[in-house]
Structure 1
Amino acid sequence: MKRIFGFGRKRKGQPPAGSASLPSPGGAYELRQKDLGKLHRAAASGDLAQVRQGLKKYGIDGRDKAERTALHLACANGHVDVVTFLVENKCKLNLFDSDNRSPLMKAVQCQQEKCVAILLEHGADPNLADADGNTALHLAVLSGNPAVAGLLLQHDANIDAQNKEGCTPLILAISEHHGEIMEFLLKKGADVHARDQCERTPLMTAASGGELNVIKVLLRYGADVSHKDTNGWTAEDYAVIHGYSR
């Protein structure tokens, strides 16, 4: 199955290798200081005093070359005090960067749980989709973070949202071998019969990888062994095709 989420894929607005950049956690933006205005630089580095000063001169929702706001940068780098300040000063919560990711999506992707909680408590939309059709819940699954997924579900994230390939968070959890989050989603009511664009089910995904324990869990939740995809293949066919006839 094609990977939908690549940390290594170069994004618009990122610098070439070897350029001077600010340090950042996994999944965060790569930033060249010279490309950032004072407000964005302060937000990215967590300098609250400079953020306060910057708001006197710059709009709170101003964008950089990659369409990022100060909130995007603060969330991606986990600067809780800056995020709190921006939110309390009525910044817009649901603006997209050049990859169609909101500040909430960046906080989820970078596993900044406190920032995720603040944004959700102030009304950030958990069901927006990025350029690949992934919602914040998809990103939480791909990061393997049940705690963040739980926060999103508490704030009405769609547990069965489909990305552009038709994959639900449950299907992604299986394809990424995140067994804990898979069981968490099933307990929360994820559709065990969900189908992607090729009519493949979570059971077929598990069978393709020879995931016997996962298969047992899915069967316990009522997965349909007789369903056929657009090729007319069942989950058993997928197991055999991929060398897991056992």
Structure 2
Amino acid sequence: MTTWPLPADDDKENLLLSCRYDDLDEVRDFVTKFGSDALSIVRDDNENTVLHMTCGNGHIDVLDYLLPLVSPSILSAQNSAGSTALHWAALNQHLEIAQKLVHFNGGPGIDLIDIKNAAGRSPLGEAEMIGWDEGARWLVQEMKLDEATHHDVNDSEEDTPMGTAQDTQDIEVEIQDADGEVAKMTISGGATT
């Protein structure tokens, strides 16, 4: 088994900056020198991880490199403000990054969407707060919807004639937004209104 040297504070800071500024070669050099396990323990003064820096800035190439190397638990790691990398992806409107985080095989999956930060907002709440409709719609579609949070718009089939557009299942979702207000969204055949 290879014994890796421990990174110094300067090495850790340089790694975080490399993730923030999309310097994949420097990230690779760090792994070559200190091993991939070191990636998961590096934090800045605000407890931000390599994924916070990468995802907040939308660096797909660095994220694709990091995901197979980091511990899956780092996907749900919260910084000092309680935000995860998914919160940062939502705040900065990086849909492909959000999708990669949620769909990462072996990671927390859709449970990431439910994590709330110190302000009481989930990644969905952050997306709603900044008006990122595309991201909010995607997050809602990915969420676990249980009987308490959705119902069929048409409670009785006899109210709708056969063969109409209402034969597809509509789901009305109520979600509490960042201000505590209830936002309603209808999901129908992949489209939302």
TM range (shorter): 0.5 to 0.7
Runs (4+) off by over 3 Å: 190-198
Aligned to 2:31: 87
Show the 5 A alignment for 1:26-175: 61-64=7-10, 68-89=12-33, 90-91=35-36, 92-94=38-40, 95-124=42-71, 125-155=74-104, 156-157=107-108, 158-175=112-129
TM-score (structure 2 length as normaliser) = 0.66
More helix by share: 2
- Counterpart CA distance in 1 for 2:177 and 2:78 is 17
Structure 1 position 60, deviation (Å):
5.7
Structure 2: runs of 5 or more not aligned: 146-172, 189-193
- Counterpart CA distance in 2 for 1:135 and 1:196 is 18
Is the contact between residue 171 and residue 202 of structure 1 (CA under 8 Å) also seen in structure 2? no
Distance change in 2, residues 1:115/1:201 (3 Å): farther
Distance change in 2, residues 1:194/1:163 (3 Å): farther
- Counterpart CA distance in 1 for 2:127 and 2:17 is 27
Structure 1 position 190, deviation (Å):
5.7
Structure 1: runs of 5 or more not aligned: 1-58, 204-214, 222-246
- Counterpart CA distance in 2 for 1:202 and 1:133 is 23
Aligned to 1:186: 140
Secondary structure of the 1:97 match is coil
Higher-RCO chain (CA-CA 8 Å, sequence separation at least 6) = 2
Structure 1 position 181, deviation (Å):
0.7
CA RMSD of aligned residues (A): 2.6
- Counterpart CA distance in 2 for 1:187 and 1:175 is 18
- Counterpart CA distance in 1 for 2:175 and 2:46 is 26
Between stretches 186-195 and 83-92, larger displacement belongs to 186-195
- Counterpart CA distance in 2 for 1:61 and 1:117 is 22
Number of aligned pairs? 147
Query: Identity of aligned pairs, percent?
Result: 22
- Counterpart CA distance in 1 for 2:178 and 2:128 is 16
- Counterpart CA distance in 1 for 2:32 and 2:176 is 41
Secondary structure of the 2:67 match is helix
More strand by share: 2
Q: What is the one-letter code of the residue matched to 1:137?
A: L
- Counterpart CA distance in 2 for 1:174 and 1:196 is 7
Is the contact between residue 174 and residue 202 of structure 1 (CA under 8 Å) also seen in structure 2? no
